[in-house]
Structure 1
Amino acid sequence: MFVRIYWGKTYPGSWDAIERSYRGLMAIEAPGLLGRLVTRDTNDPENLFTITFWADRQSVDDWEASRAYAETFAAALKPFIVGAQSVSLCEVKLADMAGLVRVAQARAGERPD
């Protein structure tokens, strides 16, 4: 499993628009994508981190090279980013996801059918 961590500095006051934009993007599937988080730094609210979980390295490489990525995710995020940004790709060596699974199951149970 691989974790891709994107960081970008956002324009002040843009979080409502970022969340609106990502709500639509979250439904887009990519082969090998296991899950996705969009997070805001509690110490510096203009810092955006997206964290994606991938089955394998090839899936990440294929997604980043895809037209869909360039025309959807990168294009949607571009208006909100000021200057610096970075991407880290990490190979997971050890994992305990039980707590995340419980949270996901609880949230799924809260949704109306």
Structure 2
Amino acid sequence: MGFNFPSLAPIGLLIASNLFMTFAWYWHLKFHSLALWMVVLISWGVAFFEYWLAIPANRIGSAMYSAAELKTIQEVISLSVFALFAVTYLGEKLTWNHAAGFGFIGLGAFFIFKGPFR
């Protein structure tokens, strides 16, 4: 069983890009004293690197996945990265309603990858 670059590379790149984007969108919630314009510029600078990962992920991934599948992979990764970030960086607690919501999103991802049903 060898490494399947077209199917695994986009997933790795999307994980890395989501780490950058989650940080770009939410890091500032611990720094309310910073001016909004400064937060936007810093976040924009961080997000620049996210694009350098997300665009190749989608370009490479399009050889193996449909656009809907790529977006679904990205959303599942995004929620997973965010959940980890919210707990570790922001100190938030995940509750059963979060688990239920994430579960329904996972069910939606299942239907994207297993459809169309006949």
Q: TM-score when scaled to structure 1?
A: 0.30
Which structure shows the higher strand fraction? 1
Q: TM-score when scaled to structure 2?
A: 0.29
**Structure having greater relative contact order (Cα 8 Å, sep ≥ 6):** 1
Which structure shows the higher helix fraction? 2
